[in-house]
């Protein structure tokens, strides 16, 4: 089932994102985690893709297993990093052959140790080119990424919005945002998109906080900010892991509740391959009537 069909439904979409583990033991543990989350009935589960195709085989095998063995809709991430057009075509045919119907198309971050993105020979420089390529040759439902607080490489928010519009115009069916912690950033982002003619659904990307230093690293890399009041609360309990997790669950529950109440079409949880916080947030949302 294509993601855009979930977005056309009456109830809000809820999805979970994971990354391919490096070991077979890690893969087994991840599959158990996803199997346990199945009872929550997520709309879909997505699997990220390593720089330069470093997790290519695991990404393909995992999305296939999620779709056919666990029987949940699976979405495969795909990046331009290190791939020629023929390599991308081959990978897309592989995913198509596994029955995967949805792709999140990304330019991708530079590989570890590199400071800037380098276009592969006969590859693509921009995510919009990858979207256009997929749309021209395949029948996938295509998602693209959006940055409520601006992509770190974009000179201005207006320029970043133009880039996102280019991706949508190239064939993007839905937008998934980067993590954010101030809902005003999300709603202002959507309002700005609508003002330049982008009507595509914008799914809110949420990362439950489980570690203070970790979330600081993630926000510094992604261009997101942590509201001062939230940061102050986290710093007070930083030495107590359980209290950090509790604060993260409480904040994300309130954040998601407001987002859904005010019209966000769905929530996409960046789980970092951990299920407990995501599960508790989801159950809180179910309890307060935000999700069914």
**Residue 231 pLDDT:** 96
3-287 carries CATH number 3.20.20.220: yes
* ∠ CA 254-259-265, rounded to 5°: 140
Rounded Cα distance between 49 and 57, Å, is: 10
Helix H or strand E encompassing 79: strand 74-79
Which residue in 17, 101, 129, 280 is the catalytic one? 17
53: region left, alpha or beta (phi > 0 left; psi from -120 to 50 alpha): left
Give the SS3 label for residue 14.
strand
Domain boundaries, the chain: 3-287
Give the SS3 label for residue 76.
strand
**Residue 240 pLDDT:** 96
State the number of CA atoms in the 13 A half-sphere of 130 facing the CB.
Answer: 30
CB < 8 Å & 24+ apart, contacts of 209-212: 209/234, 209/244, 209/245, 209/247, 209/248, 209/251, 209/252, 210/241, 210/244, 210/245, 210/248, 210/272, 210/274, 210/277, 211/241, 211/244, 212/238, 212/244
**Residue 51 pLDDT:** 56
Helices (H), the chain: 3-7, 24-37, 56-65, 85-97, 127-137, 157-169, 183-195, 212-222, 228-236, 241-261, 276-287
Give pLDDT tens digits for 90-127: 999 999 999 999 999 998 876 666 667 777 788 898 89
pLDDT tens, per residue, the chain with 292 residues: 999 999 987 889 999 999 999 889 999 999 999 999 999 999 999 999 875 555 677 889 999 999 999 999 999 999 988 889 999 999 999 999 999 999 999 988 766 666 677 777 888 988 999 999 999 999 999 999 999 999 988 999 999 999 999 999 999 999 999 999 999 999 999 999 999 999 999 999 999 999 999 999 999 888 899 999 999 999 999 999 999 999 999 999 999 999 999 999 999 999 999 889 999 999 999 999 999 8
**Residue 145 pLDDT:** 97
- C-alpha radius of gyration, the chain, whole number: 18
**Residue 111 pLDDT:** 65
By CB atoms closer than 10 A (0-12, 13-18, 19+), residue 197 is exposed
Mark whether 17 is an active-site residue: yes
């Amino acid at each position: 089932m294509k993601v855009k069909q979930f977005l056309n439904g009456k109830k809000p979409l809820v999805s979970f994102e994971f990354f391919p583990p490096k070991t077979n033991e890690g893969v087994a543990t991840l599959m158990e985690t996803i199997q346990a989350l199945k009872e929550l009935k997520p709309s879909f589960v997505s699997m990220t893709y390593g720089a330069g195709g470093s997790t290519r085989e695991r990404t393909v095998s995992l999305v296939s297993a999620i779709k056919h063995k666990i029987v949940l809709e699976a979405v495969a991430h795909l990046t331009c990093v290190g791939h020629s057009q023929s390599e991308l075509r081959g990978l897309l045919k592989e995913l198509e052959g596994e029955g995967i119907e949805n792709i999140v198309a990304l330019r991708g971050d530079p590989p570890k140790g590199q400071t800037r993105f380098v276009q592969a020979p006969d590859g693509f420089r921009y995510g919009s080119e990858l979207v256009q390529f997929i749309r021209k040759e395949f029948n996938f439902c295509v998602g693209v990424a959006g940055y409520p607080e601006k992509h770190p490489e974009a000179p201005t928010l207006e320029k970043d919005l133009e880039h996102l519009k280019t991706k949508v115009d190239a064939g993007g069916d839905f937008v998934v945002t980067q993590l954010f912690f101030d809902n005003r950033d999300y709603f202002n982002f959507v309002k700005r998109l609508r003002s330049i003619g982008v009507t595509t659904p914008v799914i809110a990307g949420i990362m439950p906080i489980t570690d203070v230093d970790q979330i600081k690293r993630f926000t510094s890399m992604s261009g997101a900010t942590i509201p001062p009041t939230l940061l102050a609360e986290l710093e007070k309990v930083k030495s107590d892991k359980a209290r950090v997790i509790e604060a993260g669950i409480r904040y994300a529950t309130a954040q998601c509740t407001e987002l859904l109440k005010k019209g966000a079409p769905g929530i996409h949880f960046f789980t970092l391959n951990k299920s407990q916080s995501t599960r508790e947030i989801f159950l809180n949302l179910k309890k307060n009537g935000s999700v069914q």
